[in-house]
Amino acid sequence: MIEQGIFWILTLFLVGGSLGMITSRHSVFASANFMLAMIALSGIFALLNQSFLFLAQILVAVGAVITLALLVIVSVNIHQRYTPDEPNMRRWLAGVSLLVLPFFVLLINTAGKMPISFKDVPAEFGTVRGVGATLFSDWVLPFELVSILLLVAMLAAIIISRRGGDHDA
Amino acid sequence: MSTAALIVTLGSIVLGALLALMMIPVLVWLERRIAGLIQDRVGPNRTNILGFRLGGVVQSFADVIKLVFKEEYYPGHIKTGRWLYIIAPAITFSAALLAFMVIPFADTVQFGGESLRIQPLPVDYGVLWYLAIGALGMIGIFFGGWLSHNKYSLLGTQRAGSMGLSYELPLGLAVVSMMLTYNTIDFNEMVRWQSGTVLGVVPAWGILVQPLAFIIFVVAIFAETNRAPFNVVEGESEIISGHMTEFSAMKFALYFMGEYIAMNSASAVVITMFLGGYQLPWLSTEMLNIHFGIVALALMAVLPLFLFVIIRWMRRNNSVRTTVSTDGGRDFETKVLTYALIGMGVVLELILGCFVFFGGGGTGTAIAVILLQIAVFVFKLMCFNIFFIVVRWTLPRFRFDQVQTLGWHYLLPLSLLNIFVTAIVIVGVGL
């Protein structure tokens, strides 16, 4: 009963934070809402007794992603004249929302047909040892590929930022 | 949940809160008195309650009262987002406070078949918790600094962010090499590992097993807690007070206290990971449990000596110059404190005497060992906090580019090298 109450409160924060993130006018408030959503999500992991996922979520999403996003926000001075011109943005948003509405019905149907009870996971599931062993035995190739992808992205970002050097001579 | 479990859990939580929160006034006092000592002056020693100065620690409580009753001032240009501006210091404060809560104060005990951790949050992934929650403190600095709409605040925030991010890497990598060494992420297991000896003589403390990791970790933790010589975030001569410039009263106090709690947590983590935690050197918990009578006898012998030195030091120093006619109650304070210390000593001697001559039984010895380990922990914690303070008043502040060079060009490669060497040694030993 208490667990369900906590679950609903966390869900409220998760959905509210996500909505706040996309509706906030300013990026700092968007990242504050994003932080709220991520902490609520890690709270749901904690409710499922998944200590490693709970901490990894805070460590990666809040400690790394949001910190980096905020560092960019405080370091970059964005003026209105640098942002792209979007005259009919609200109309576009409404049109695209109508377009994806059938998929939403599909999503609700799928969610309604999900089984209510799940199999119990093995005891090693979600512990630090369990995650590490799985990552470096069954999933080692995708893991390495993802790290190469990130390396390539990082190099590309460095090269692109070095090339257009007319404003920071 | 049995009664013993309830008592241990509540006791650990209360002890954790006390060690984190009551340490703030003590640390502020120590900071000022040690600054005075190093700069050849006295430091705060006048504030008193009915003549009781306690060496000046009363000043810190007076400061707290002043900050609570001070006027709340909001800069007029903060229009939207005042709620975030108000809770930003609280984020930093609570992150620092929560990060402290996974430190074990004594070894896990067995009461009636249950094993109970003497740890406010009884979890076995303490290292990850400290890294994850400790990183949250930066978010509060970002929000506060950005919403202040002040050039100095923004500069301070940028410095805090880039310095925090660049020192998070060597910090995390030093922790990884310690995880490899101890083969665990549980703080208590780490301390138990350190209770052994290397080559049969030297205690197997992390500082002796991994000296390079210790140096990297301590330098990185000084930067993470924004303490001198890395306090470029609030370099007073350059950017006023950094992200705290526009904050006043209790909001400022929350940032200020958050910094001291972060320093306290950092000391606790350093002594837990590298300096043997709550362990006395050469005396593991099992040995203490078996031979507590001998340890109690040794304590009985040392305690009067210790008290004698403290009382003599107090009598010599708690006085005014001979030219001043009124002593402002200092003689009275010295007299009361002398009697209090002697009384405490007598009670402790009696209790220890019981253990020496009658033996405490299983439960009694276990409780005594816990209390002894907590005392050792607090002693080591205070020593490392004093080290933090002495470093602050000894070294000048680095320039910001020097800070970044040290982080990226020296500490990061060194910590990577340390991980490689550690891994090779571990694999070599395992072969």
φ/ψ of residue A117, rounded to 5: -110, 145
Segment (H or E) for B197: strand B197-198
pLDDT for position B43 = 80
- Count of other CB atoms within 10 angstroms of residue B312: 10
Contact yes or no for A39/A16 (Cβ under 8 A): no
Q: Report the SS3 class of residue A84.
A: coil
The answer to whether A74 and B150 have CB atoms below 8 angstroms apart is no
Q: What is the DSSP pairing of strand B114-118 with strand B202-203? A: unpaired
Q: Mutation test of the interface with chain B: which of A31, A55, A68, A78, choosing the one with the most B Cβ atoms within 10 A?
A: A55
Please tell me the predicted confidence (pLDDT) of residue A169.
42
**One-letter identity of residue A39:** I
Give the pLDDT confidence score for residue A91 in this predicted structure: 86
Q: Which residues contact B139 (CB under 8 A, 6 or more apart)?
A: A35, A62, A66, A67, A70, B91, B92, B95
- Cβ–Cβ under 8 Å, residues A67 and B135: yes
Contact with chain A for residue B87, Cβ under 8 A? no
Look at chain B and report how many structural domains it folds into.
1
Average pLDDT, chain A: 84
Judge whether B88 and B138 are in contact, CB under 8 Å. Answer: no
List domains and CATH numbers for chain A: 1-79 (1.20.120.1200)
pLDDT at A120 over 80: no
Query: Which class for B237: exposed (0-12), middle (13-18), buried (19 or more C-beta within 10 A)?
Result: exposed
Which residues of chain A does B135 touch, with a Cβ-Cβ cutoff of 8 Å? Answer: 59, 62-64, 67
Which DSSP string do the residues of A108-148 spell out, in sequence order?
HHHHHTS-SS-PPPPTTTTSHHHHHHHHHHTTHHHHHHHHH
Check if the beta carbon of residue B106 is closer than 8 Å to that of residue B370: yes
Opening angle at CA A95, ends A94 and A98, nearest 5: 85
pLDDT of res. B415:
92
> Looking at the domain assignment, is residue B37 inside a domain?
no
Tell me if A74 and B145 make a contact (CB, 8 A cut-off): yes
Q: Identify which has the larger pLDDT, B191 or A83.
A: B191
The pLDDT value recorded for residue A129 is 81
Range of the domain at B190: 68-281+394-430
pLDDT in the model for residue B217? 92
Q: Which of B85, B121, B125, B130 to mutate to test the interface with A (most CBs of A within 10 A)?
A: B125
Q: What is the pLDDT of residue B270?
A: 92
Reading chain B (431 residues) residue by residue, the pLDDT tens digits are: 678 788 888 888 998 888 888 888 899 999 998 998 899 888 887 777 877 777 778 888 888 888 888 888 777 777 777 888 888 899 999 999 999 988 888 888 877 777 888 888 888 888 888 988 888 888 888 888 888 888 888 888 888 888 888 888 899 899 999 988 888 888 888 888 888 777 777 888 888 888 899 999 999 999 888 887 888 777 777 788 778 888 888 888 888 888 899 999 999 999 999 988 888 888 777 777 778 788 888 888 888 899 999 888 888 877 777 676 676 677 788 888 889 999 999 998 888 888 877 776 777 788 888 888 899 999 999 999 999 999 988 888 888 888 888 888 999 999 999 999 988 988 888 76
Q: What is the pLDDT of residue B1?
A: 64
CB A57 within 8 A of CB B128: no
Q: Token digits for B423?
A: 């891994």
CA distance B253 to A15: 33
Tell me which residue of A18, A16, A103, A63 sits closest to B91, measured CA to CA.
A63
Interatomic CA distance for residues B252 and B260, integer angstroms: 13
**DSSP three-state, residue A33:** helix
At A128-159, the pLDDT tens digits run 888 888 888 888 999 999 999 999 999 998 88
Do B154 and A52 count as a contact with CB atoms less than 8 A apart?
no
Output DSSP code: residue B396.
P
Pairing of strands B114-118, B106-111: antiparallel
Given A29, A68, A74, which is nearest B81 (Cβ)?
A29
* pLDDT value at A14 more than 50: yes
What is the pLDDT at residue A167? 54
